[in-house]
Amino acid sequence: MKIPFKYTFRSFKSRKLTAIITVTGIALVVFVFAAALMMAYGVEKTLVSTGSPDNIKILRQSSQGEITSIIDGETQGIIRALPHIAKGSDGNLLISAEPVVIINLEIKGGGMSNVTVRGVSQSVYQLRPQIKLISGRLFNPSLRELIVGKSIDDKFEGAQIGSKVRFAGDEWKVVGIFEADGSGFESEMWGDSQQLLNAFNRGSAVSTVTLKLDDIANFEEFKRAFETDKRLKEFEPQIEQKYFEEQSEILATFIRVLGIFITVIFSFGATIGATITMYSAVANRTVEIGTMRSLGFSRRSILSAFLFEAILISSIGGVIGLFLASFLQFFSISTLNWNSFSELAFSFSLSPVIIFASMIFAIAMGILGGFFPSVRAARLNIVKALRAG
């Protein structure tokens, strides 16, 4: 004979205080768990969206990031002669040789942090159509001017339109602010590549070369032509989106592992709370359990009823924790990108996988906390249970 579910719900209502305390504990743990996963996913999503699946990025082999890659002028000329590079409306190749440097800027709230400055050519706006100027104007290629991502404008002193940023022994005027669909480019400053090369006395040596193919389906053929040329053996072409996806792995993995480690520690407290709640339920309902056993309810039914109650409590806590965590999507934070050694702004991001993982984690806490009390309830002696009243 099975115990009806309404008995479990009635029992839950009769112990509101202890149930609420347990639900709150589980909700807080799930909130922290989901927040850590959302943070890691936010980093991944930001960096992946930085790259385009249609662009090819070329950099020196084994370089950990753009700032550790160097491509000399002669190599750039060889790359330009490769097949399948697309041309813009003006007939010029859609290719951007980009020097990348790191400078220090003062944070509005105090302190200093690193910011990426990227030198780009005029074709970059066709290579990266997600770049949209939201204020001011584009930089003049013949002047030392910059446009800045909106995350830089929000966080750093002296990065607003009309301000001057001093680096490489000169002052660079900020003339515009751009957005890039929430990608990592919003955490960068952009100026003319030749101006940047001259300022840092780098000759013609850039960090990376980004180009667009006439058809991304020709990537393998382009790659074969690239690898066949022995002069390019120290360099490698990658699909830009894949490159930035790989760039996110180290930081995202660290955030995820650290978050889960902290959450597991917190989960012990929530599990203990669930255990105490369920043991209390068993102690307070000893006579009820004895009565149900005498009416013919099996031990398995008793165990299932109490275990279901524990899962119900943890599920409610999981839903509340996820509901609270979902509001984190309205907030943006920044951290140091370990590959570029510069500031990266990103938003918390929720996904179906995170929702599923959080609920499984909540239910697991309920099962761990409710199993032994449920077993104790199922094993109560009928006569002793009835006498307890």
Whole-angstrom distance between the N-terminal and C-terminal Cα of the chain? 24
Report which of 268, 324, 326, 66 is spatially closest to residue 185, judged by C-alpha positions: 66
Q: What is the pTM of this model?
A: 0.79
Radius of gyration from C-alpha coordinates of the chain: 30
**Cα–Cα–Cα angle for 194, 78, 93, nearest 5°?**
60
Encoded amino acid at 375, one letter: V
Q: What is the pLDDT of residue 192?
A: 94
With a cut of 50, which residues of the chain have pLDDT below it? 1, 385
Residue listed under structure tokens 């992946």: 48
pLDDT of residue 75: 94
List pLDDT tens digits, range 135-187. 999 999 999 999 999 999 999 998 999 999 999 888 999 999 999 988 889 99
In whole angstroms, give the CA distance from residue 111 to residue 114.
Answer: 11
Q: What is the pLDDT of residue 281?
A: 62
Tokens at 217, concatenated:
């389906």
The residue behind tokens 């850039």 is: 206
Annotate 254-273 with b (16+ C-beta within 10 A) or e (fewer): ebbeebbeebeebbeebbeb
Q: How many other CB atoms are found less than 10 A from the CB of residue 98?
A: 20
Q: Which residues of 202-212 are buried (b: 16+ CB within 10 A; e: fewer)?
A: bebbbbbbbbb
Question: For residue 82, what is the DSSP state?
Answer: S
Residue 249 tokens read as 């792995």
